[in-house]
Amino acid sequence: MLRVPPGQWLSAFHLPGALPGSLYDSGSGQFTGTPFAGLVLKPFVGFAAPSLEVAWTCVTLLFVAAIGLVAARALPDPVPRRTALLAAPVLVALMMVSLPVREAASPGQTAVLPVLLVLLAVFRVPAERPAGFLVGLAAALQPGLLLFAPLLWLTGRRAGARAAAVTFAGATALSWASLPRDSWTYWVQDVAGTGLGGAPDSLANQSLHGALLRLGLSGPGEIVLYVALAAAVVWTGMRRAARYARDGQVLLAAAITGCVAVAVSPAGWRHQLLWVLLAVAGKVGKRAADRTVWPVAVVLAMTLSADVLLPNLAVLAPVRDNVLLLTALAAACAVPFLPRSSPYWREPVPTAYGRPAAARWSRVPLMPFWRRVLSRPNLLLELLLIRVGYSLYSHIRAAAPTSRTLAESNGRLIHGMEKALGIDIEHAVNHAVVGAPPVKAFFNFYYTSFHFVVPLTILAALYWRRPGDYRWARASLGLATVLALVGFWLFPLAPPRLMPDLGFVDTVHGVQDLAHPQYGAMTAISNQYAAMPSLHFGWSLWCGVVIVVLAPRTWQKLLGALHPLITVCAIVATANHWVLDAVGGALVVTAGFGLVYVLSGPRGALARADVSLSMPRPRTPERVGSASPSGERTSA
């Protein structure tokens, strides 16, 4: 934000006294706050315009820090000592990098202040009427937060609820008296700000109304459906919020109410969804291993873009475009947060760990702290982490150096090394395959089809059948992939098909214009110079090793060993890799397995423990109503 020139901070919207015209002038159309918000900002803009960017950024950061401190102290008892110490800094750090705070740092966005006012009213102001006054001010800045008045009423703070309603009405009346034209525009012409600052169906509007418009609905039918859905969300969410507030989970109740307020508003902008991040205060799951699923899902949804969380497929567009809204609706209406009366609130079902493995190297500091989990991990958490991990891998790979001169220089270096070693077989194999169309079609299909399918199938089978081995295999694959990223960055390499004057034929992608530095559309898909090491061969070798080690039958082991052999033939025949690229892929996979061995011990110990956990236990005789040897029924 500090890089934005000062003159551009006020050009996006018209504030009273700063620029002539209305708050919602069609020439700017970026201010999304209420008329009361514009009235509040008026005196600040007058004297702080030259340094508004610095002041606004600092105040926003201070508000975020205050929210973190208040929310951390509002966690329901009992709070472990480590949680009490880390809650505030961790929450503040997460909010700083979250999408709502990043967008709220723009001038004129007052989404952070209403959250702070509500939290102060609920947790730090004991008197009902002053607390209601703060809630009313927050609702005047963000009308949907008026739902906190019913929450106060349902939890017995009726004087505070009345004070909130009166304050909201008074602040709105003051804005009507001071800014009648803007008030008419906001409340009547654009109902509660719908369409101000952007189209109602834009991705920034993460409300039910915006989602229905993005689905192609419009007209009276859409309005009726929106009102019905909003009523259902308010009814369900407010009942849940009141129940958790009476249970002593007031912070969770406030987060649920905030999620409901943004979801049912005609315009629920992304910078208003900080409430979703506060919903991590709720506990979900009976097992200790499941407790991290909800916080991780919320943090990922609130900090990463939707294309990182979900692949760019048309069938997933309705979900991908509404990730924040769906997360808010889940927190408000669906996620089964545990009540404090649950026996699993204090003591969830513990995670099964294997015996600590003996250190392989005495100087490895991680060894004493590496605990080998034997139970099956949570499926949703695994899918989230695999998807996010692959997205980050793709982004890092795409961001690796793409210098054509350097990549071709390294290509000539690799080609010269292969000539010296007598293994420069790529050209002969490539042209032999080009002359045999059936063989060419087979290798093209194998190259493009099995790279992802086989590893994912193996991981799915291990997850279901052998959880301990799944963790071993997943960790080795992940470490090998991270090591490969280092190679992509340090050694950009042009594959044979992108080497001018060597006469290779790209059998998969077709003829490439080697005179053009971008090589057509392929560069937009991925970094074409991320070739050393070859993960096409590396992942296939990982598949072969896992199958050979774990498969129970000989024919399965033979198929597993055949997969990397066919893959190395495919990457050479299609001119997508040098032979030494496959050697690099083998090295990173070997290093991945080796690191897992060093850190967690031999796989055999995990496998034996995993089998013992999965074996059926002997049935014990029933104690209640069991039959005695004489045939009579007895009771315990």
Q: Could you tell me how many residues make up the chain? A: 636
| pLDDT for residue 323 | 92
| pLDDT for residue 28 | 47
Helix, strand or coil, per DSSP, at residue 485: helix
- H or E segment to which residue 557 belongs: helix 554-573
Rounded (10°) angle between helices 293-303 and 379-399: 30
Residue 603 backbone dihedrals phi, psi, to 5 degrees: -65, -30
DSSP per-residue letters across 232-264? HHHHHHHHHHHHHHHTT-HHHHHHHHHHHHHHH
Helix, strand or coil, per DSSP, at residue 444: helix
Closest CA to 277 of 74, 430, 91, 128: 91
- H or E segment to which residue 131 belongs: helix 128-141
Closest CA to 476 of 537, 534, 531, 546: 546
Residue 482 CB contacts under 8 Å (≥ 6 apart), including other chains: none
CA distances from 203 to 25, 32, 388, 449, 550 (A): 22, 15, 21, 33, 47
| pLDDT for residue 609 | 46
Sites in the chain below the pLDDT cut of 50: 12-14, 16-19, 27-29, 365-369, 517-524, 607-636
Cα(452)–Cα(367) distance, rounded to whole angstroms?
Answer: 32
Cα(602)–Cα(583) distance, rounded to whole angstroms?
Answer: 25
Tokens found for residue 62: 């201070």
| pLDDT for residue 169 | 96
- H or E segment to which residue 479 belongs: helix 467-490
pTM of the model: 0.81
Cα(50)–Cα(46) distance, rounded to whole angstroms?
Answer: 9
| pLDDT for residue 270 | 87
Closest CA to 496 of 405, 407, 434: 407
Cα(255)–Cα(280) distance, rounded to whole angstroms?
Answer: 9
Tokens found for residue 560: 């597993």
| pLDDT for residue 387 | 85
| pLDDT for residue 467 | 82
Instruction: State the alpha helices, DSSP H only, in 281-330.
Output: 293-303, 306-309, 317-320, 323-329
